[in-house]
Amino acid sequence: MTSELTKAATLSQDEFDQAEAIFIGLLRESYPTLDLRRGTALRDLLVRPSSAAYALETRRNDELMRTRSLAAIIAQPGVDDTDAINAVLANFGTELRLGYGASGVLKVTVNAPGSYRANAGTVFTNSETSASYTAPASVAARSADTTLRGPDSDGLYYFTVPVISDAAESVSEGVAFTLAIPFSGYVAAVSYSAFTAGREDETPSEALARLPKTLASRGLVTRAAIETAFRDPTSPGYNSSVSALSIQGMGDPAQQRDRHNVHGVPLGGRIDVYARTFSTPPVITLVKNGELQVDGSYRILVQPSEAPGLYAVKSVTYASDVLQPGDESEGPLDFTVTRLSLTGAAPAHRFTAEDPTIGTVYHGVEIYVNGYNFGDTAPVFKVSLYAARDVELLQAYVDRPDVRNAAADVLVRTPFMCIVGLNVVVRHAPGVVIDVAALRQALTNVVNRNSFYGILTMSELVAAAHTYPIISVDTASGRSGGFALRGRVVDGAGVEHTLQGHRIDVADILDPTGLMTRQTVAFTTSPDLISVEAVAA
Amino acid sequence: MNQYDIEMLQTITAVSPESVRLYNTATTGGSRAVTGIQKMVQRYVVTLLTMLGSVRFDTVFGTDVVADLSVGMTRNTAGLSNAFNFASSDALDILKAEDSNILYGVTPDDERVARAILLDFNVDIASGTLYLDVQLNSVAGESYTYKMPVTITRD
């Protein structure tokens, strides 16, 4: 941009002509005896160079006017000048939040036992979207130390490889990936479980909307100030990872940690920060050994350090299983969950026995798989967990000596994820083609923008559907109808609640002692949980 | 009201002392202001000898005469006369358009070219220069013959 502002060669004819006309007018007004016609020496030596300089100066001034205001930048479609936007935002101590790519774990299948290695930088390609995924670190798998598992029912062996991408896409469990240069014995690679989706870069409009929050003073005192502390550009990047915050402090229904006294009244000194760091449900997948119990069940222990920000257990399957969409033959196993008691070193934050640790870095669980006989005292399971790993970084940040509140115990939690499913039938004119995949993504975006509001309505979803060339949305509910909205959410006590209807409202399951309020719940979904049927009217 | 330009072609001799009256330096041979028929001749020569397309942001200013002469397209007197007459006609069109533009005020008759006639030419082989003897007549009736140097060799 700088070169365009300083080089006459980049001027357009219109820019030059306008500048020349103004310059000649000004000069004629002051010095009417100068002959400025074409062909004169004054025209060549004075008017032309000065006009070029004036045109450049005009352009610089226009650029300054254009970039001094966020509103002005936003009003110019197609302008993508991140530096200019950040220059304005820097006046308010913030900057644009960067997006991040999807991440997850691949199951790499090989045809024989032995030693295998996926080097750091190995690139896998999503066969559906062609997005590239890279292994950030080398992974070695050997039969000798059980990092290579199997054989499974097909006689194949497998190991897992964590991968990350620049693409902000959703990936379901069982999606096939390709390897550009397969190694000896390589058979296939699939997503071991649903990936944690990425997020697009923040738009200037979104930055403008949150700007007031950056104007608060920096200190863990008020809600605005707490949010400012997280969004401080000098903090290590949390402005980009946190999309929404809900702060529960003294007197808030979902703040129960400061009520442990004989009268049960809030005394202050405790703050719970619910930080949404995800769009689609974030998943951590572990491969764990079960432990046979005397009652015949199998116990799987998940320590807090293994799944920071653990919110709920998504599924437990045989370690070798990769569920395909619609595949019911190898469904998840039945299990129950109990909270892991906080033993060992006392955490830096105070809990009593009845305080839910759900969503914090101190939350671990014991999973009991019941009703199966695996013929093994320590069978291997694949455990998929809803957990936002960024909570660990955020908690470490607020615990820093230079950041932490001297008067209160600040605890960071994963929001209670209300996993939303939606079935919808849309009608369109004959011959009109509806991009169903894009419509599903649009509906997904509506759900994933909804944090700490507690209500999700059919109206906002229908409004999003009408941005596509449809005639109507079948809003009848029930078996014969075309609209079914459901939400599942687990409260702090581990109780699962189901919401459904044209409007799902957390107020219907309000339970402050289980930390279940509108201010603690974030709606979330992924495209594979949304079914759209387009029919010609 | 007379309008002035800077003197570029110092070999143009003023017809009358009143035509050249302003000097910005006491040093003999320093820059001068020109007006009247001297300025008319200077504007004509600059316009005729400016190569078409060579001025940034004014690519229609100038003529093809220098290009035609320097690449050897003129092989005889008729060709030279032809090239000059086409280019001179273009130059006069440009000057007339400028003279009628009220942005620059009213152009006096002694500064407007009525005709340009190629009287003669000769070539200085040693310097590679073609000299064109051009007679310029103003609308006021004055005439001036200027020996116009055109370099026709290439480096």
pLDDT digits (tens, 9 = 90+) for A325-359: 555 445 688 899 988 766 544 567 777 777 788 89
For residue B116, the chain A residues in CB contact (below 8 A) are: none
Residues A265 and A260: their CA atoms lie apart, in Å, by 8
| CB-nearest partner of A35 from B5, B8, B46 | B5
Q: Residue A235 has what pLDDT?
A: 63
* Mean pLDDT of the region B118-134: 88
| Residue A61 burial by Cβ neighbours in a 10 Å radius (0-12, 13-18, 19+) | exposed
* Mean pLDDT of the region B20-37: 59
SS3 A51: helix
Q: Residue B96 has what pLDDT?
A: 95
Look up the domain containing A399 and give its range.
283-413
pLDDT in tens, A352-375: 777 788 899 888 999 999 887 777
- The reply to whether residue B57 touches residue A16, judged by beta carbons under 8 angstroms, is yes
Domain boundary, last residue among A370, A387, A413: A413
* CATH architecture, range B5-151: Roll (3.10)
Cα B112 to the center of its chain, rounded Å? 12
Q: Please identify among residues 69-88 of chain B the ones whose CB lies closer than 8 Å to any CB of chain A.
A: none
SS3 A293: coil
Q: Measured between CB atoms, does A127 come within 8 Å of chain B?
A: no
The percentage of residues in chain A with a pLDDT greater than 90, rounded to a whole number, is 43
- The reply to whether residue B39 touches residue A33, judged by beta carbons under 8 angstroms, is no
SS (H, E, C) B96-125: HHHHCCHHHCCCCHHHCEEEEEEEEEEEEC
**A245 token code pair:** 């915050």
The pLDDT confidence band at residue A214, using thresholds 50, 70 and 90, is low
Same domain, A405 and A512: no
Q: Structurally, how many domains does chain A consist of?
A: 5
For residue A42, the chain B residues in CB contact (below 8 A) are: 5-6
pLDDT exceeds 90 at position A54 = yes
pLDDT exceeds 70 at position B15 = no
Our CA-based measurement puts residue B96 at a distance from the nearest CA of chain A, in whole angstroms, of 11
CA dist list (Å): A258 to A432, A513, B85: 58, 12, 101
Contact A39, A51 (CB under 8 A): no
Contact A310, A283 (CB under 8 A): no
- A509 within domain boundaries: yes
- The reply to whether residue A34 touches residue B56, judged by beta carbons under 8 angstroms, is no
- The reply to whether residue B57 touches residue A36, judged by beta carbons under 8 angstroms, is no
SS3 A112: coil
Nearest to A468 by CA among A425, A443, A445, A434: A434
- Strand order of the β-sheet with A298-302 is A291-292, A298-302, A365-369, A335-339
- A21 within domain boundaries: yes
**If you measure CA to CA, which chain A residue comes closest to B44?**
A39
Cα B109 to the center of its chain, rounded Å? 17
Q: What is the mean pLDDT of chain A?
A: 86
Same domain, A89 and A229: yes
- A249 within domain boundaries: no
* Mean pLDDT of the region A493-519: 92
- The reply to whether residue A13 touches residue B57, judged by beta carbons under 8 angstroms, is yes
Q: Measured between CB atoms, does B94 come within 8 Å of chain A?
A: yes
Q: Residue A478 has what pLDDT?
A: 59
Same domain, A212 and A90: yes
Q: Residue A107 has what pLDDT?
A: 93
Our CA-based measurement puts residue B137 at a distance from the nearest CA of chain A, in whole angstroms, of 18
Q: Please identify among residues 96-125 of chain B the ones whose CB lies closer than 8 Å to any CB of chain A.
A: 98-99, 101, 103-105
- A247 within domain boundaries: no
SS (H, E, C) A122-176: CEEEECCCCCEEECCCCEEEECCCCCCECCCCCCCEEEEEEEEECCCCCCCCCCE
For residue B1, the chain A residues in CB contact (below 8 A) are: 32-33
- The reply to whether residue B104 touches residue A36, judged by beta carbons under 8 angstroms, is yes
Q: Measured between CB atoms, does A50 come within 8 Å of chain B?
A: no
pLDDT exceeds 50 at position B23 = no
Residues A22 and A61: their CA atoms lie apart, in Å, by 15
Same domain, A447 and A492: yes
More confident residue, B15 or A331: A331
- Compute how many other C-beta atoms are within 10 angstroms of the C-beta atom of residue A250: 14
Residues A67 and A85: their CA atoms lie apart, in Å, by 7
Residues B147 and B9: their CA atoms lie apart, in Å, by 11
The CA-based angle A23-A27-A33, given to 5 degrees, is 145
Say if pTM beats, i.e. exceeds, 0.80: no
**A67 token code pair:** 């970039």
For residue A28, the chain B residues in CB contact (below 8 A) are: 103-105
pLDDT in tens, A380-395: 899 999 999 889 999 9
Q: Residue B21 has what pLDDT?
A: 40
- A401 within domain boundaries: yes
Residues A462 and B140: their CA atoms lie apart, in Å, by 82
Count Cβ–Cβ pairs < 8 Å, chain A vs chain B: 73
pLDDT in tens, A70-97: 777 777 766 667 787 888 888 877 788 8
pLDDT exceeds 70 at position B31 = no
The crossing angle, in degrees rounded to 10, of helices A13-30 and A48-67 is 110
- A273 within domain boundaries: no
Q: Residue A233 has what pLDDT?
A: 65
B72: left (phi over 0), alpha (psi -120 to 50) or beta: left
**If you measure CA to CA, which chain B residue comes closest to A27?**
B104
Q: Measured between CB atoms, does A374 come within 8 Å of chain B?
A: no
Our CA-based measurement puts residue A54 at a distance from the nearest CA of chain B, in whole angstroms, of 14
* Mean pLDDT of the region A20-26: 93
Same domain, A42 and A78: no
**B72 token code pair:** 């050897």
ipTM of this complex prediction, to 2 decimal places: 0.83
Residues A458 and A504: their CA atoms lie apart, in Å, by 9
Q: Residue B19 has what pLDDT?
A: 42
- The reply to whether residue B57 touches residue A20, judged by beta carbons under 8 angstroms, is yes
- The reply to whether residue A35 touches residue B39, judged by beta carbons under 8 angstroms, is yes
Same domain, A56 and A124: no
Q: Residue B36 has what pLDDT?
A: 87
CA torsion angle A10 A13 A19 A20 (round to 10) = 120
* Mean pLDDT of the region A110-138: 92
Nearest to A524 by CA among A328, A349, A294, A277: A277
- A264 within domain boundaries: no
- Compute how many other C-beta atoms are within 10 angstroms of the C-beta atom of residue A222: 13
In B5-142, beta strands by DSSP E: 5-6, 33-34, 113-124, 129-138
